A and B are shown apart, each in its own frame.
Chain A
């Protein structure tokens, strides 16, 4: 069983000369491929043997589905469910005019119905869901991250230019000092909105056209107008429903405009900054009192910049091409410490994998001994760290390493500044991760040990092998067969083990002369602080950095998986 998986996996993952390299789809590929490439290299000759039963699997009776009526009913129920969910998902998408989303849902549903209704397409029945999952949870996030890396998205550059202009103009509206304070009543005339304003015992009506005195208005006890000829006063509920219109209405008056402050007050204010499409710039006096200035749109930076170099805080998102990717390589603040962090990152991931594997195997072997008693109790205890939420455990460990109040120093009567010195801090994060990670390796090793035939060890014993030789030459190679792929994935996980470091040391301790890079910083924690810790959130730069981290992990994983194939030869 495992042999076949290995080999078919090999054929997919490692395209050879003459192979298309694309994952085989739709079942027809395996059947036609031997004929399709008659002169294929000898390395391919295992493929026909590896999948001999596949063409036969397609030979489902064309007359219909075998199986009882219950099976058919269950199948149609499941398909009906798919259609129902699709309809539920499509309704809001279509009503919002999101045709791309609608098309995706429709295409996925159609493909699903086709594949599961036809008695053929057996491989597609397996491939379709996995392909969709891979697309949704692997390919899409990676592509999205890469596309973000090409923009300057981050704090101050989140939205569009139009949004930035609106924000600039809105936030520049200032109350005229000493201007009248109006009591506001929202009213309606011929469907149009009007502000009935009362100030100093006089009444006005204001619309977008302007302000004019109002005759025959009735003032209520709070100084607000309660009725006026020709106007319908809106109740709170009616006014609430037209909230957006009320906010937008500005009654032009000399030196500004009267705007609403909620539903019962109005004030006279002036927009200090206005956008001029002619010069593509924002003009005005800035923060109230300054001289008249112009901020020109800089489409490269995504913000309005004045001649003196100052910029308005509200910017917008622009494409910056490869600038973020280049900055990660060329910016001295980023790349100066890259090698050091990378080195420790390698050491950390390697050490964690080696230590957890060693301890896990050792404990598994100890419990595997036939004379061991209460194995179950021990196993339960050992698996505990794995079963507890890592997040909480990391925080508990962090507090246990506290110099004065931590359990570690108190129990052992030590006065070690665990997290304050580079060496001990590194030791601490390794110890914590060892504690968290070894149960996983223990579980795998325990399982793998059960599958090692006792005859092998007996034969070795008969041949005069010592216990160490038996372990070294028989048990360990067979164990590694099961463990090595998991060790590679464990390495990839720990290489990016953000929580394991960030929650314990936050990357520290930091040398006094350099607050940017700490002794236990991994690439991912270092990146996190660069992108989010200092200059606000810089998603573009963060995405570019994570693209690099992704590439590094991918390369290391590919190389490791190739190397671990050495062990798999044993199985052939």
Chain B
């Protein structure tokens, strides 16, 4: 052990090599930057796995037409966060595919540009999609697909669509009593972690109870100054939800997540499920005879308004090829032919009216989800929405568990208001 053996030297050298890179850590992103600009322009598009497979041929066709290259990068996890970090470091894409409710946050971080579509172009989109991508009076994204919740019904167990949620619960209870099902309804009360309530899924019932999250500004945006949680209506809505909860009818249970609700429905253990179009493939594969109708509201109450999410194309502020990116999203992707081809490649409810007609004719379920979206409201895109999630999720669990509703609503309202003040 007087001197390092060659092997040891090698190991040390390796360490040194590693640290040499580590030492330059803060600057190393630039090392990998070396853009492919040398031999032409590359339009960089970020999408998740499914979307990237669908978009690939269209991006390539566009690239060929314009004599450039197009590259689609799959970002599977934490897209918004990754986009923010990468853009800030000058490594972001030109086009981003994502959910419209990112808009508020991306705008306050100065990361996406308005998309100056003509009024004629905008008029071609479904109303809810157009509203969804409009933020502070500006259009920030090109809508592509629309998603919302609806009620799946096993037509063998329950031939008739329930007119109200109370009727649905009655039917479910009868079926359970008869031993035909194990659960009244597969309603995802909890998020995947089972530990916090699911605002997205519970929102239809909350709105049917007459309550709202935010008011509306004259611009048509959600108004953070008008908080609906803590109002009389919100207490009343949660009283109705609690009445169906674990200490009431036992229809809503915290043990239900989106996954196990779907499993129960597919195995015929429940006749009803509240879910989005992403469950269609599963349900069809399971061979259940099903129908899709709008989520029913409470008896003698307002309609249930599901959140509508709109997948959109965004033009990155810090992209290198903004003109190209705009041309791609407003010129190429916004055309009816491409929207139809996108639907053929992946059956998602299109946002473009013409493509929607085409899709509805081809797949009756699309028309049913479209009907379910009619009462829907776009998922709020304002950054203040982040103040809602945690307290509202907790409130849902408290109500379904059977805790005193007014106290829980007050606590949630207080927590949200404190966050909004900041």
A, B assembled together: yes
B411 touches A287 (CB 8 A): no
Q: Interface with A: B170-178, B317-325, B343-351, which one?
A: B317-325
Q: Does A527 sit within 8 A of B, measured CB to CB?
A: no
Question: Given A132-B22, A264-B331, A534-B387, does the pair A514, B105 have CB atoms closer than 8 Å?
Answer: no
Q: Does B415 sit within 8 A of A, measured CB to CB?
A: yes
Give B371 Cβ to nearest chain A Cβ, in Å: 31
Query: How many residues on chain A are close to B (CB under 8 Å)?
Result: 112
A108 touches B16 (CB 8 A): yes
B196 touches A314 (CB 8 A): no
Q: Which residues of A contact B118 (CB under 8 A)?
A: 175, 181, 265, 267
B328 touches A262 (CB 8 A): yes
A261 touches B326 (CB 8 A): yes
Q: Which residues of B contact A122 (CB under 8 A)?
A: 3
A398 touches B323 (CB 8 A): no
Q: Is the interface of B mostly helix, strand, loop or mixed?
A: helix
A243 touches B255 (CB 8 A): no
B110 touches A164 (CB 8 A): yes
Give B10 Cβ to nearest chain A Cβ, in Å: 5
A509 touches B419 (CB 8 A): no
B22 touches A173 (CB 8 A): no
Q: Which residues of B contact A81 (CB under 8 A)?
A: 13, 17
Q: Which residues of A contact B24 (CB under 8 A)?
A: 89, 93, 101, 104-105
Question: Given A166-B110, A265-B331, A419-B194, does the pair A333, B9 have CB atoms closer than 8 Å?
Answer: no
Give A233 Cβ to nearest chain B Cβ, in Å: 14
Q: How far is A507 from B412 in the complex, measured between Cα atoms in Å?
A: 17
Q: Interface with B: A29-37, A60-68, A343-351, A433-441, which one?
A: A60-68
A510 touches B116 (CB 8 A): no
From A70, A93, A398, B6 is in contact (CB under 8 Å) with: A70
Binary interface encoding of chain A residues 215-249 relative to chain B, with 1 for a CB under 8 A from any of its CBs, else 0: 00000000000000000000111011101101100
Q: Does A78 sit within 8 A of B, measured CB to CB?
A: yes
Give B105 Cβ to nearest chain A Cβ, in Å: 6
A535 touches B390 (CB 8 A): no
A140 touches B260 (CB 8 A): no
A171 touches B113 (CB 8 A): yes
Q: Which residues of B contact A244 (CB under 8 A)?
A: 320-323
Question: Given A132-B22, A175-B116, A533-B389, does the pair A239, B323 have CB atoms closer than 8 Å?
Answer: yes
Q: Which of B62-88 contact A (CB under 8 A)?
A: 65-68, 81, 84, 88
Give A393 Cβ to nearest chain B Cβ, in Å: 15
A509 touches B3 (CB 8 A): no
Q: How far is A159 from B66 in the complex, measured between Cα atoms in Å?
A: 33
Binary interface encoding of chain B residues 351-380 relative to chain A, with 1 for a CB under 8 A from any of its CBs, else 0: 000000000000000000000000000000
B22 touches A402 (CB 8 A): no
Give B165 Cβ to nearest chain A Cβ, in Å: 20
B3 touches A133 (CB 8 A): no
A92 touches B196 (CB 8 A): no
Question: Given A509-B397, A512-B404, does the pair A129, B411 have CB atoms closer than 8 Å?
Answer: no
Residue of A whose beta carbon sits closest to that of B318: A163
Binary interface encoding of chain A residues 291-319 relative to chain B, with 1 for a CB under 8 A from any of its CBs, else 0: 00000000000000000000001110000
B contact set with A: CB distance below 8 Å: 2-6, 9-10, 12-28, 30-34, 40-41, 65-68, 81, 84, 88, 104-105, 107-111, 113-120, 136-138, 183, 193-196, 218-219, 253-257, 260, 263-264, 317, 320-324, 326-328, 330-331, 383, 386-387, 389-391, 393-395, 397-398, 401, 403-404, 407-408, 410-412, 415, 418-419, 422
Known A136-B19, A240-B324; further 8 A-B contacts with Cβ < 8 A: A244-B323, A260-B323, A262-B323, A403-B254, A417-B254, A420-B401, A512-B411, A535-B419
A-B contact list, 20 entries, CB within 8 Å? A75-B9, A82-B17, A86-B20, A93-B24, A104-B24, A108-B16, A108-B20, A112-B20, A135-B19, A135-B23, A243-B41, A244-B321, A261-B115, A267-B118, A315-B108, A419-B194, A506-B193, A512-B407, A513-B410, A535-B387
Counting from the closest, the 5 A-B pairs by CB-CB distance are: A237-B67, A167-B110, A262-B327, A136-B22, A101-B27
